[in-house]
Structure 1
Amino acid sequence: MTATDNGATAATPTPDGAARARRSFELRILSLVTLSIFLVVSSTSVLAIALPTVARHFGASAFESTWLLLMPTLVQTCFLILFGRVADLVGLRWMFLSGLGVFTVAAVLSGFAGSVVMLIALGAVQAVGAAMVMCNTGATVGAVFPGRRLGRAMGVYLAGVSVAQMIAPSVGGLITGTVGWHWLYWGQVPFALGCVVLGARYLAALPRTPDRTRKLDVRGALTLSLMSGFLVYGVSSVQSSGLRSWEVVVGLAVAVALVPVLIVVESRAEDPILQARLLRRGSFLLANLSNLLSVLPRFETVLIAGLYYQTVLGDSAVTAGLKVLPLPVGITVGSLVADRIAARRGLRTTAIGASVTMSAGLGLLALSFSGGRPYGWHLLALLAIGLGAGVFSTVNSTLIIREAPPGEIGTVNGIRLTVMNVGGSVALAAGLAIATSSLPAEARSAFYDATVPPDTGAGALIHGFNLLFVVMIVASLAGGLILLARPASGWASADDPPPRKAEPDQG
């Protein structure tokens, strides 16, 4: 008990009470960021099944329909690192609430869009708000959860991402077919407003950014945004315009030309957006390279499996969607159990085991497709791929967040997300090119409509699929092997006790 100014006594929080209050605060924060990331990820993928209905409503061309899907990813990639740095300067709470405000206003206006061009433009605005939220969710988890608890929190957070990717397309199709496409956007508003209210209340207690003189590297941010945007635009155009199209050539050429410009700009910046001490840290670069490689099997498997079921087996889109559900289910479960496995086996062993599990699942799925085996084999393979991907992504994301120096967690998380966006675009373009490489040129366009002529033969299609599976297995194993080169000191958090000699692998 302690005395107050008027002579009364006040209870001093006990250690147990303080611990319970801390855990309650962490639970509220984790719930908030998981709901927020679920919302913004859903907004990006909700059009996947509803796109034909929206395109027919506006009479959209193929080019306009493509940009309805491409614009959010392109805009987010351009701004993630920039907004991550701004969050480091002004605070996570301000950036989070501002992003939700922009996101909500754009959602309301999108429901009133009178043309497809207006809808694309509003989609870009909403993507700006989504990027402001996305760069803060993982950073907020990293700022609130210390030591070993970071891994478990990242698992729950990434499970929210997986669930959003799993159900958003189906929910979008259901909404469009019942109450109309406008509610694809208006339906987001109540959840966004709820996140604003909760964020204003809970995020006030976030740790403050360390005090030091900081400036926003405007030139570096602009150069990096342009480079990322042109890169994503170039690789994304491969699937719609062809490898030799001017869109691909210009996008990739400009991105490459901006690399030396970025190096010069950053070398002259007083407070560069890409901190040299961070980029010189081998463990940080290795973790992000592993992150880039692991994106390929995660992004490509669901696409290639869905196309296989529709093109080779003749399943409907709904049936194909149900058949690939074991993959995101596996990712969700893997994300949730990753921390428990790492606590018993160590981060290094867990990451390598997840990589091997993902590769084994890919091999089993390839054999199942080639041999025409029953769906039970497919289900087992998809679950293995998902479990391995969920565990690996959680462990690797935790390692990247732990690398953040004081006051740089927003920037580090922005880099992590940008690598994933770029990797996803590259995976999509490269994967489709490999999958269709054995088809005659005139049959490749029919592949995307799942209407490959029977006389073309399933053999050529399966051959292309097998080539893609080989690439995905190599990428998966390489992602795990790269982490073996990570310095031993990088596998433990500063908040963790020193590992015992008998367990040098413990994370």
Structure 2
Amino acid sequence: MTDTRPASPVLPEKQAWRALAALCIGFFMILLDQTVVAVATPQFQTELGASLNAVVWVTSIYLITFAVPLLVTGRLGDRYGQRNVYLVGMVIFTLSSLACGLAPGVEWLIVARALQGLGASILTPQTMSVINRIFARERRGAAMGIWGAVAGFASLAGPLLGGLITGTLGWQWIFFINIPFGVLSLVMVVKWVPSMPTVTRRVDGLSVLLSLLAVFGVVYAMQQGPKLHWPTWIWFVFLGGVVALLLFLRRQHTTGERGADPLVPLGIFHDRNFSIGAFSIATMGFAVASIALPMMIYLQDGLGMSAEKAGLMLVPTAVISGVLSPFVGRLADRVHPRVLSMIGFGAMTVAVGLLAAVMRDGVSVWWILVPVVLMGVGHGFIWSPNSATTMRDLPPQRLGAASGVYNTTRQVGSVIGAAAVGAAMQIGAARTSLGNAMGNAVIITACVLFLGFVSVSFFRSSSERASGSMAD
């Protein structure tokens, strides 16, 4: 019989940290897999006899199957229990990693990567939901600090491990390495993560279909449009996604009347901090996806650096972020939420603005280290405070849906960022020098991050929320 209690008990501190360690293994694997594969792309093309278009799809299909189901998979945790859904996602991710490593051809690899993205999509929202349910409210910032440190370390380890593994063991092992860690995470989650109370009503099936069509239409069009030079049919795919989104939102208003739960309870957007957090993390997703490529092109093609040296230029960002995140996470439990987030988004905005200024012909490469260091500060002050503030005051029965929305906005922001800056790079390269074009392209990113900075200035503390509610 389904447990209908309104909230699960907070775990004892020691057990909660053990559960977090189990979840972070899976979270690390997913983030690692988003970056490690890019390093092996030339090997895919050579050893599998694949065309450039085919190897591009090795990455593209993963991002599509990861982003599209997030609204649904977040809700599955509410319906069937976050622990159970996480285990299913990890099994799919681990087995598909084995299939990737055994792929005899690029077609097999693309299919296996699609399944891998689906597994990642199933387990990702559960991680954030469980953290918010097992830790006491005043300890969630500290937990999210560790979560943020894992993200920082994964962003550093991906390119470095990818190059090391591909160069020594072969590209297959960037997938095989997931298997022991996946098994370890399964064992640890079974042992340390408790079962969570679930909701009893079914989720509306038409809402699920509309959400899949909406996210797929927008993500596919934004991701493939620049590569295909925006043919007419891709605009129809995009418009179809927008129409499906409007129908989806309308459906959420009326689903309760039919005896089902909405896929996304629109009431979560009445929480001011959640709405702000979901928007601001989309701007951060935009930035993360849009900065690396122009930087790498500038460093390698513009300045003639090797791929290895260019990759090392980003190491300070990951190191500083990883060191700061646990410290900032603890502060997030005590400091006004807008303070830390404004420091983070302010640092990121200034950093990318400086990046646009120094990625110019004739400017010494060492000037890039200034914005690289600032970006590390920005990352360290954004991920854990933003997620902790966004989710802190939502009721437990809505955490799965909220986590799905939060992760979806981040992924959609990433897709739009990559498309927008990619288009700016192409236009700029046709009109000016390569170096100046890369600098001009990231001006867009700085403007988007400034919107994130402005939005987080409206975060409210718990006392302000309480006084606002009393005034209402």
Q: In the superposition, relative to structure 1, how do residues 469 and 490 fare at CA in structure 2: closer, same or farther (>3 Å)?
A: farther
Match of 2:277 among 269, 287, 300: 287
| Structure 1 residue 186 corresponds to structure 2 residue 165 | no
1:467, distance to aligned residue in structure 2 (A): 3.1
One-letter amino acid of the counterpart of residue 313, structure 2: K
CA contact (8 A) 2:337 2:460 kept: no
**Per-residue Cα deviation, 1:103-151 (whole angstroms, up to 9, x for no partner):** 1221222222222111111111122111121111111111111223111
Match of 1:135 among 122, 125, 142: 125
One-letter amino acid of the counterpart of residue 315, structure 1: M
CA contact (8 A) 2:355 2:439 kept: no
Match of 2:300 among 307, 310, 314: 310
**Per-residue Cα deviation, 1:14-68 (whole angstroms, up to 9, x for no partner):** xxxxx9x922112201211111100122223221110110122221122211110
| Structure 1 residue 482 corresponds to structure 2 residue 455 | yes
Match of 1:472 among 441, 445, 453: 445
Match of 1:261 among 243, 247, 254: 247
1:266, distance to aligned residue in structure 2 (A): 2.5
1:319, distance to aligned residue in structure 2 (A): 1.2
| Structure 1 residue 364 corresponds to structure 2 residue 354 | yes
One-letter amino acid of the counterpart of residue 238, structure 2: L
One-letter amino acid of the counterpart of residue 440, structure 2: L
CA contact (8 A) 1:50 1:169 kept: no
Matched residue, 1:209: 197
Q: In the superposition, relative to structure 1, how do residues 344 and 425 fare at CA in structure 2: closer, same or farther (>3 Å)?
A: same
One-letter amino acid of the counterpart of residue 446, structure 2: I
Larger relative contact order (Cα-Cα within 8 Å, sequence gap ≥ 6):
2
The TM-score normalised by the length of structure 2 is: 0.90
| Partner SS, residue 81 of structure 1 | helix
Q: In the superposition, relative to structure 1, how do residues 149 and 75 fare at CA in structure 2: closer, same or farther (>3 Å)?
A: same
CA contact (8 A) 1:71 1:124 kept: yes
Match of 1:321 among 306, 311, 330: 311
| Structure 1 residue 241 corresponds to structure 2 residue 225 | no
Q: Does 352-361 or 91-100 show the bigger shift?
A: 352-361
One-letter amino acid of the counterpart of residue 256, structure 1: V
CA contact (8 A) 1:33 1:157 kept: no
Runs of 4 or more, structure 1, over 6 Å off, are: none
Q: Structure 2: where are the runs of 5+ without partners?
A: 1-9, 468-472
Matched residue, 1:230: 217
Trace 1:418-437 onto structure 2 (pairs within 5 A): 418-437=408-427
One-letter amino acid of the counterpart of residue 242, structure 2: V
One-letter amino acid of the counterpart of residue 250, structure 1: F
One-letter amino acid of the counterpart of residue 277, structure 1: G
Match of 1:83 among 73, 78, 88: 73
**Per-residue Cα deviation, 1:295-349 (whole angstroms, up to 9, x for no partner):** 2333322222211101210111111111122222233234223224445652212
Q: What is the alpha-carbon distance in structure 1 between the residues aligned to residue 361 and residue 276 of structure 2?
A: 37
Q: What is the alpha-carbon distance in structure 2 between the residues aligned to residue 469 and residue 179 of structure 1?
A: 36
1:403, distance to aligned residue in structure 2 (A): 4.2
**Per-residue Cα deviation, 1:70-103 (whole angstroms, up to 9, x for no partner):** 1111111111121111111111111111111111
| Partner SS, residue 240 of structure 1 | helix
CA contact (8 A) 1:362 1:472 kept: yes
One-letter amino acid of the counterpart of residue 113, structure 1: A
Q: Which has the larger radius of gyration?
A: 1
Matched residue, 1:174: 164
| Structure 1 residue 273 corresponds to structure 2 residue 263 | yes
Matched residue, 2:4: none
CA contact (8 A) 2:132 2:140 kept: yes
Equivalences, count: 455
1:384, distance to aligned residue in structure 2 (A): 0.5
Matched residue, 2:429: 439
Q: Does 115-124 or 104-113 show the bigger shift?
A: 104-113
Q: What is the alpha-carbon distance in structure 2 between the residues aligned to residue 469 and residue 59 of structure 1?
A: 35
One-letter amino acid of the counterpart of residue 123, structure 1: R
CA contact (8 A) 1:400 1:412 kept: no
| Structure 1 residue 461 corresponds to structure 2 residue 448 | no
Q: What is the alpha-carbon distance in structure 2 between the residues aligned to residue 298 and residue 79 of structure 1?
A: 21
| Structure 1 residue 29 corresponds to structure 2 residue 19 | yes
Percent identical among aligned pairs is: 24
1:402, distance to aligned residue in structure 2 (A): 1.7
Q: What is the alpha-carbon distance in structure 2 between the residues aligned to residue 295 and residue 372 of structure 1?
A: 30
| Partner SS, residue 305 of structure 2 | coil
Matched residue, 1:14: none
| Structure 1 residue 154 corresponds to structure 2 residue 147 | no
Match of 2:383 among 379, 393, 396: 393
1:392, distance to aligned residue in structure 2 (A): 1.7
CA contact (8 A) 1:106 1:125 kept: yes
Q: What is the alpha-carbon distance in structure 1 between the residues aligned to residue 354 and residue 440 of structure 2?
A: 14
| Structure 1 residue 71 corresponds to structure 2 residue 61 | yes
Q: Structure 1: where are the runs of 5+ without partners?
A: 1-18, 442-458, 499-507
| Partner SS, residue 370 of structure 1 | coil
1:247, distance to aligned residue in structure 2 (A): 5.9
| Partner SS, residue 278 of structure 1 | helix
Matched residue, 2:3: none
Q: What is the alpha-carbon distance in structure 2 between the residues aligned to residue 343 and residue 103 of structure 1?
A: 33
Matched residue, 2:470: none
Q: What is the alpha-carbon distance in structure 1 between the residues aligned to residue 397 and residue 334 of structure 2?
A: 31
Q: What is the alpha-carbon distance in structure 1 between the residues aligned to residue 161 and residue 463 of structure 2?
A: 41
CA contact (8 A) 2:208 2:263 kept: yes
**Per-residue Cα deviation, 1:153-174 (whole angstroms, up to 9, x for no partner):** 1121122122222212332232
Q: What is the alpha-carbon distance in structure 1 between the residues aligned to residue 358 and residue 345 of structure 2?
A: 20
